[in-house]
Amino acid sequence: NAGVTQTPKFRILKIGQSMTLQCTQDMNHNYMYWYRQDPGMGLKLIYYSVGAGITDKGEVPNGYNVSRSTTEDFPLRLELAAPSQTSVYFCASRNLAGTATYEQYFGPGTRLTVT
């Protein structure tokens, strides 16, 4: 299993440009998440999905959109990039385990700079 994969690893955008961060998992996990990590701060949840066709906002969703057409893929879309979106973005997934000790797996991250 490759686990959670993200592309691209790095990207520089100009203000106002748009792009899609790709996330794929091959563990057949129902739950998928997008986080951003800013220097000196904890990860913040942007959007999450509990299954194909279902998405919901997290703590910091403004400026982002997501879709979940398949179990495997959970792309994150930035429509009008702003400098405030400069960050490292992590995708994560977990299964539908009913216990409180489910395991969450993270991708390697995408470092985005908006100038």
Residues of this chain that bind another protein (CB under 8 A): 4, 35, 40-45, 90, 92, 100-101, 103-104, 106-109
Instruction: In angstroms, give the least distance from the CB of 16 to another protein.
Output: 28
Q: Between the CA of residue 77 and those of 19, 28, 80, what are the distances in Å?
A: 6, 22, 9
Q: Are 112 and 46 in contact (CB under 8 A)?
A: no
Return the number of the residue (14 or 100) whose C-beta is nearest another protein: 100
Instruction: In angstroms, give the least distance from the CB of 15 to another protein.
Output: 25
Buried residues in 78-97 as b, exposed as e (16+ CB within 10 A): beebeeebbbbbbbbbbeee
Alpha helix positions (H), the chain: none
